[in-house]
């Protein structure tokens, strides 16, 4: 993407000192194309009016949240606030950060990589050529999502209003290796790519855009899981 959230290795050159290659037929260096597309932001419905009194709703929420994958950090009935934390190895379920489309072409043919930026992915990228060598970056991306949620529970007449606001922390870790090719397409060596970590944070119903144009927002799934954590009607 975008140099941060989806590391753009086209500009990364790794110069390796290696032995002179064997004779053979000369081939053109690899090439790659990258496109990023953001999706339309979703307005998250993060409130629910329950036709039950406050005391009943509060007790049910505490009980059911304690049995869920959420971790209860603080509960204050006096302030009507619960704070819970969460983590997921499948961020694409809870957030949308757009779509990446990559095309890698070398003497072996063409490979296409299309993936949601929020999910794990791997792909090849052509590095800059340094005659008589060219470089191919083999990239692995590992994504993770964690954060905290404030659940506000307030009496409203004889009913109870639940409001959910989440703070998302999206992390991408990239690693991999660079393969060095001679003018004849032969792999002459491999070296590890420098790993990198990128973090982007945003709230429910907030559009997060970094300096390179990467856009993230909540899908509303997490908020709905809180609101529906019990069979409250």
- If 0-12 CB within 10 Å is exposed, 13-18 middle and 19+ buried, where does residue 120 land? middle
* Phi and psi, residue 44, nearest 5°: -85, 130
Q: What is the pLDDT of residues 117-168, one digit of tens each?
A: 999 999 999 998 888 888 999 999 999 999 999 999 999 988 999 999 999 9
Q: Which residues of 73-88 are buried (b: 16+ CB within 10 A; e: fewer)?
A: eebeeeebebebebeb
Q: What is the pLDDT of residues 193-228, one digit of tens each?
A: 999 999 999 999 999 988 777 899 999 999 999 998
pTM of the model: 0.83
Q: Using CA atoms, how far apart are residues 106 and 36, in angstroms rounded to an integer?
A: 22
Q: What is the pLDDT of residues 10-29, one digit of tens each?
A: 444 333 333 333 334 567 88
Whether omega for the bond prior to residue 132 falls within 30 degrees of 0, making it cis, is yes
- If 0-12 CB within 10 Å is exposed, 13-18 middle and 19+ buried, where does residue 171 land? middle
Q: Using CA atoms, how far apart are residues 90 and 88, in angstroms rounded to an integer?
A: 5
Domain extents for the chain? 26-227
Nearest in space to 149 (alpha carbons), one of 74, 201, 83: 83
């Amino acid at each position: 993407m975008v140099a941060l959230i989806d590391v753009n290795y086209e500009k990364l050159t790794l110069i390796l000192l290696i032995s002179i290659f064997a004779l053979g037929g000369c081939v053109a260096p690899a090439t790659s194309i990258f496109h990023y597309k953001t999706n339309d932001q979703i307005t998250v419905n993060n409130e629910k009016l329950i036709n039950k009194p406050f005391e009943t709703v509060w007790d049910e929420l505490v009980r059911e949240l304690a049995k869920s994958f959420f971790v209860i950090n603080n509960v204050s009935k006096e302030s009507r606030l619960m704070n819970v934390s969460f983590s997921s190895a499948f961020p694409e379920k809870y957030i949308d950060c757009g779509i990446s489309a990559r095309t890698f072409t070398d003497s072996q043919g063409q490979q296409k990589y299309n993936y949601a930026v929020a999910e794990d992915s791997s792909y090849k990228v052509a590095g800059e050529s340094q005659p008589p060598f060219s470089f191919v970056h083999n990239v692995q991306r590992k994504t993770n999502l964690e954060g905290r949620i404030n659940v506000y529970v307030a009496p409203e007449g004889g009913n109870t209003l639940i409001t959910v606001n989440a703070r998302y922390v999206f992390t991408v870790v990239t690693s991999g290796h660079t393969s060095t090719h001679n003018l004849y397409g032969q792999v002459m060596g491999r070296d590890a790519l420098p790993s990198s970590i990128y973090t982007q944070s945003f709230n429910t119903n907030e559009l997060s855009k970094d300096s390179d144009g990467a856009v993230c927002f909540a899908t509303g799934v997490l908020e709905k899981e809180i609101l529906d954590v019990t069979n409250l009607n």
